[in-house]
Amino acid sequence: MIIDVHGHLTAPAELYAWKAGLLSHRGAHGGKPPAISDDRLREAHFEPHPSFGNVSHFDHIDGAGVDLQLISPRPYQMMHSEQPSKIVRWFTEETNNIIHRSCELFPGRFKGVAGLPQSPDLDPAEWTAELRRTVTELGFVGALLNPDPYEGTQVPPALGDRYWYPVYEALCELDVPALIHAAGCRPPTREPYSLHFIQEETVAVWSLLSSRVLQDFPDLKIIVSHGGGAIPYQVGRFLPSGVRAGGTPYLEKLRRLWFDTCLYTKDSIELLIRVAGVDRCLFGTEKPGTGSQINPETGGWFDDIHLLVNDIDWLTENDREAIFAKNAADLFRL
């Protein structure tokens, strides 16, 4: 059994054409979503796509032996910083509806992970209505949490700030995990969105472990995408400060979080597992996505992460079973 906790929606172009219209008229023409048939939605999952190495979504996950994939919105599409906030809400809600329909069309292959309408013009408590709708009405098993709703245009409160507490309260109430994953990245930032993801996830880990969040919310379940940004690989910089501060050792605090294996080299995955522990690592690929390109050195996909995990020779069969499926099944109550 392989459960991939880090997948994103593959949707027909009509959804994103509608988004372009929302951005053009800024809500003046209303928010009626496009009429996308079940057949059209089904076809999108089997169509080859140039961004996916000219193969389809199902070609990728079937080829990697993924039995169940948790799918969320494509983060860079989420336009959290756009105005007015109603277009952010409309697009988020319809994207979640399309995720739900995809789960219904392919039962047993997908589970939904919600996007939240994280407009900075809304109070975070207002974001949680969509979290509650998707979990209680649509059967979603978690949510994406973008640590930078401004998408690079301003400096947001760090995740240790009380600003985020309404979201943490809702996550604990519903008993679902949050997957930390940044979204778009707009000027004046210097970096592309893919690098912005890693930077924001790095800051997210630092701010959570430097705050009272995990004490105030002992049942909070947080997964950090892309192997935790930079922190697991730079953990040595934080160990001395943990000793100076006294209290809980830094590694013990780090292991209150979970991390996905959405890294594209064996060495990085191996280091993540050594630092975080087998029990804190969840199999994730983002397949199809950034890594969906043929590696000229191997002839395989960069995002064939199952092969990289299998190549770590010191993992036991029980370790692999935990990383590939058991940890996710326990955490998401699958």
Q: Tokens 């930032």 label which residue? A: 189
Residue 159 and residue 204 in contact, taking contact as beta carbons nearer than 8 Å: yes
Q: Does the CA dihedral 95-62-194-307 come out positive or negative?
A: positive
Task: List the structure tokens of 15.
Answer: 């959804």
What is the spatial distance between Cα 244 and Cα 236, in angstroms, rounded to a whole number?
14
**Closest to 91 in 3D by CA, of 104, 101, 82:** 82
Query: Terminus-to-terminus CA distance in the chain, angstroms?
Result: 12
Q: Which two tokens stand for residue 296?
A: 């000229």
Contact 196, 187 (CB under 8 A): no
| CB 144, CB 75: distance < 8 Å | yes
The one catalytic residue in 286, 297, 317, 321 is 286
- What is the identity of the amino acid at 17? A
Phi, psi of 321 (to 5 degrees): -60, -40
Number of C-beta neighbours around residue 220 at 10 A: 18
Helix residue ranges, H only, 77-137:
85-105, 124-136
Write out the H or E segment, with its range, that includes residue 69.
strand 68-72
Grouping H, G, I as helix, E, B as strand and the rest as coil, residue 5 is strand
Q: Is 317 tagged catalytic?
A: no
Tokens of 228: 């935790």
Phi-psi region of 180 (alpha: psi -120 to 50; beta: other; left: phi over 0): beta
Q: How far is CA 71 from CA 8, 136, 140, 248, 317, in A?
A: 5, 17, 10, 34, 27
Instruction: Give catalytic residue positions.
Output: 286
